Amino acid sequence: MKRFFMTAFTLVLIATAVFAEPVSVDFWHAMTGKNGEIVQAVCDKFNASQTDYKIVPVFKGSYSDTMNAGIAAFRAGQAPGIIQVYEVGTATMMAAKGAIKPVYQLMAENKAKFDPKAYIPTITSYYSTSKGEMLSMPFNSSTAVMYYNKEAFKKAGLDPEKPPVTWPEFFDYAKKLKASGMEGGFTTNWISWIQLENFSAWHNQSFGTKSNGFDGLDTKLVFNTPLTLKHFQTIYDLSKDKTFIYGGRENKANPLFSSGQVGMHFESIGGYGSMKATCKFEFGVARLPYYADVKGAPQNSIIGGASLWVFNGKGKPEYKAISEFFAFISQPEIQAFWHQNTGYLPITKAAYELTKSQGFYVANPGMEVAINQLLNKAPTGNSMGIRFGNFNIIREIEDQTWEDILAGKISVKDGLDKMVKDGNEKLREFERLYK
Amino acid sequence: MTKQYEFPSKGLPYLLVLPQMAVVFVFFFWPAAQAVYQSFFVQDPFGFSLIFVGFENYTKLFADPAYWDSFGVSTVFALSVAFSSMFIALFLAVQANRKMRFSSFYKTMLIWPYAVATMVAGVLWLFMFNPNVGVIAWFLAKVLGIKWNHLLDSGQALLLVSIAASWKQIAYNFVFFLAGLQAVPATLVEAAAIDGAGPGKRFWAIIFPLLSPTTFYLLVMNLVYGFFETFPIIHQVTAGGPGTSTNVLVYKVWRDGVINLDLGSSAAQSVVLMILVIGLTVVQFRFIERKVNY
């Protein structure tokens, strides 16, 4: 009897060796709905493509929930292999040097296929050191664009194929749209990301010093310039007769546009799909307007979205699995699949070319507008991206102050100065932690 | 003389309460102690850098006008929720306590909102009052000529979250008031009626004083609710805005800690909240339960 067990045990041992379980790596993400399904599909494709590794996507809630879960798990020694972190968390992840494994190191150590030059520079720069070392893998990237209601344009006697190019033209169009009987002219989402961060990059102006924080933690906000003041003052003045309507924080202004109350709107290209699903009229996508009298404008816009970070302290097989997965998702076919199904931008030039050759942009011209806007010029220190610690709270201060400006509690000038002053305090708090 | 059961051994009672105490310790005392400890430090989210700063988190907090604003907003909010929901609930309870047809149907319907999750209640009211597509907002603007925009008007925003929070709490108060009313001896009321007291007089001179234990209990519970349990409504309806006009204390703690990852300040804020809850509980046990009687 004893012998029987011994034999059985040995057989089991042999069996496990032969049919070895693949190395499994958890991938925590924050993609909901359709995008969540595409994440699953991408992982399934990877798992089916080979037998050694298995990537297990786990939905962890909102961006901040996911990041918090990751931080808590790391502190408890239970971190997943890969975690998706939104762009405002980038500086926090970067500063946590002991917690992360830089992607460029990971790829080199595991000799995975990796060519930093294959990626679109405006996207990778957001997640790279100033020396160009990629710290995290760009995943879902978007940028801010203008959406406009083509039918409303026709009604107001405007050419639906000629969206406004400069801000003065834009404001003029907005007044005409309102005069044509609409509830208002325009609205915008994400006041900080679109009207301050992208606005600065697009005009090649500094949002913060030290290349928007890329060159050091001793960065300061400097966006309270005459240009921003002019821009915000104009929007504020237009809010009085409802040419501009405020729709709320984050992407809460979308219903104003999709219900046809305003004719023009600013939103992420990542929202293209849901815009298509909710708008019962034909709409167009155009580049962000600019002030023509600013030298160097338009420059290029910056990205939003999230990237994939790898936690420190995992075993060699796990790192091998992750590096293979990153190489896999960088392939043009996978990128094109991701891009075309989610609306997020492709992260490699090859994926863009592939999508173009497939004729995708003929049916979806808005997507190409966004990519061209990102690629408009080689990024400068003002347009590589934003790297601030405590960035989330800085954006919150900007949201709150913007609401106070619109409610008439504070003047536009004092409001912008307050955003800069309070924001700088938060930057100093962050700097102190990492000295 | 109450009957007391004597345990044969001295250790047994302690052993019996041990599981409960263990739960309380793990889920209440330990986190509370952690909060107190962390409130004296600033730290990065990953825990690599921990700098002792003494009372700096507290001094910063109390020097911050935004925190005092938050205190004021919370107080106004909690008081208005407590009073309006109690007043309406009492009125409804008195009406439902009469003998009439379908009275159990009415009672069921009035209790129903309590079964709605707080988050869902927030979404419901948000939809109705959405300045752009909401039914009530549309009605206010088109029929009554009132411009409704809680996204920018602080007063309206506070009103909206108060309505949403009260609506939910009315059902809870209603149950207690109804039970309280049913416990009022009918003989007293009838005797007063025979003596010639009208319905109003009967209510204020007999029923209301007899209800006072219920009323005070509910007052404390409603204040606790208003201060500490309305997070989902604020989160869903206004997210603390416009500006900081509905940024109540609990919401601020959560935002600063969970979203903004400022753990030191968040810990200090939760210690302040803890002291507040302890204070309210002491008031309830020491003052109200002993002084209010009839």
Q: Which residues contact A332 (CB under 8 A, 6 or more apart)?
A: A348, A350, A351, A353, A354
CB-based contact B260 A432, cutoff 8 Å: no
CB-based contact B152 A400, cutoff 8 Å: no
Euclidean distance between CA atoms A105 and B216, whole angstroms: 65
Euclidean distance between CA atoms A358 and A252, whole angstroms: 34
pLDDT at A96: 87
Measuring CA to CA, which residue among A207, A192, A219 is closest to residue A382? Answer: A207
CB-based contact A74 B46, cutoff 8 Å: yes
pLDDT in tens, A266-325: 999 988 888 888 999 999 999 999 999 999 889 999 999 999 999 999 999 999 999 999
Inside any domain, residue B97: yes
Taking CB atoms and an 8 Å cutoff, what residues of chain B touch A409?
243
pLDDT at A104: 95
Looking at the structure of chain B, the number of domains it has is 1
User: How large is the average pLDDT for residues B124-132?
Assistant: 87
Secondary structure class of A254 (helix, strand, coil): helix
Instruction: Locate the DSSP E strands across B86-150.
Output: none
Contact A156, A185 (CB under 8 A): no
Q: Is the predicted pLDDT of residue B153 greater than 90, yes or no?
A: no
Inside any domain, residue B263: yes
Tell me the DSSP string of A51-115: SSEEEEEEE-SSHHHHHHHHHHHHHTT---SEEEEEGGGHHHHHH-TTTB--HHHHHHHTT----
Inside any domain, residue B65: yes
More confident residue, B285 or B170: B170
More confident residue, B259 or A18: B259
Contact B49, B275 (CB under 8 A): no
Is the peptide bond prior to A298 cis by the omega test (within 30 degrees of 0)?
Answer: yes
Taking CB atoms and an 8 Å cutoff, what residues of chain A touch B43?
433
Nearest CA in chain B to A409: B243
Q: Is B44 on the interface with A (CB under 8 A)?
A: yes
Handedness of CA A299, A300, A304, A308 (dihedral sign): negative
Euclidean distance between CA atoms A81 and B275, whole angstroms: 40
Taking CB atoms and an 8 Å cutoff, what residues of chain A touch B243?
400-401, 403-404, 407, 409
Domain A20-141+304-374: CATH architecture, name and number where available: 3-Layer(aba) Sandwich (3.40)
Adjacent-strand bridge partners of A58? A28
Which regions of chain A carry the CATH code 3.40.190.10? 20-141+304-374, 143-302+377-433
pLDDT at B200: 87
A152-to-A148, A424, B171 alpha-carbon distances in Å: 8, 42, 47
Secondary structure class of A234 (helix, strand, coil): helix
pLDDT at A13: 57
Q: Is B241 on the interface with A (CB under 8 A)?
A: yes
Inside any domain, residue B89: yes
CB-based contact B241 A400, cutoff 8 Å: yes
Question: Backbone phi, then psi, for A147, in 5-degree steps?
Answer: -110, 140
Inside any domain, residue B26: no
Is the peptide bond prior to A121 cis by the omega test (within 30 degrees of 0)?
Answer: no
Instruction: Locate the DSSP E strands across A171-246.
Output: 186-188
Please tell me the least confidently modeled range out of A20-24, A288-292, B39-43, B214-218: A20-24
CA triple A36-A39-A45, angle to 5 deg:
145
User: Which amino acid, residue A268?
Assistant: S
Smallest Cβ distance to B258: which of A68, A259, A407?
A68
A126-to-A312, B106, B275 alpha-carbon distances in Å: 21, 60, 44
CATH of region A143-302+377-433:
3.40.190.10
A44-to-A48, A325, A328 alpha-carbon distances in Å: 6, 11, 12
Q: Which residues contact A274 (CB under 8 A, 6 or more apart)?
A: A254
Q: For residue B76, what are the domain limits?
A: 52-291
Q: Is B235 on the interface with A (CB under 8 A)?
A: no
Inside any domain, residue B251: yes
Measuring CA to CA, which residue among B222, B177, B80, B262 is closest to residue A64? Answer: B262
CB-based contact B48 A247, cutoff 8 Å: no
Euclidean distance between CA atoms A167 and B95, whole angstroms: 61
Q: What is the mean pLDDT of each run of 10 residues along chain A (435 residues)?
A: 62 57 93 89 96 95 90 92 94 90 95 90 88 92 96 96 96 96 94 96 96 92 97 96 91 90 94 87 96 94 95 94 96 94 90 93 90 91 92 92 93 97 94 85
pLDDT in tens, B160-192: 999 999 998 999 999 999 999 998 888 988 899
More confident residue, B287 or B194: B194
Q: Is B119 on the interface with A (CB under 8 A)?
A: no
Contact B64, B249 (CB under 8 A): no
CB-based contact A64 B42, cutoff 8 Å: no
How long a stretch of residues is chain A?
435
Q: Which residues contact B69 (CB under 8 A, 6 or more apart)?
A: B244, B247
Smallest Cβ distance to A400: which of B51, B133, B243?
B243
Contact A285, A146 (CB under 8 A): yes
Instruction: Supply the mean pLDDT for chain B.
Output: 88
| Domain at B171, CATH number | 1.10.3720.10
Give the pair of three-digit tokens for residue B267: 């810990």
Structure confidence at residue B198 as a pLDDT band (50, 70, 90) = confident
Smallest Cβ distance to B132: which of A98, A255, A396?
A255
Inside any domain, residue B218: yes
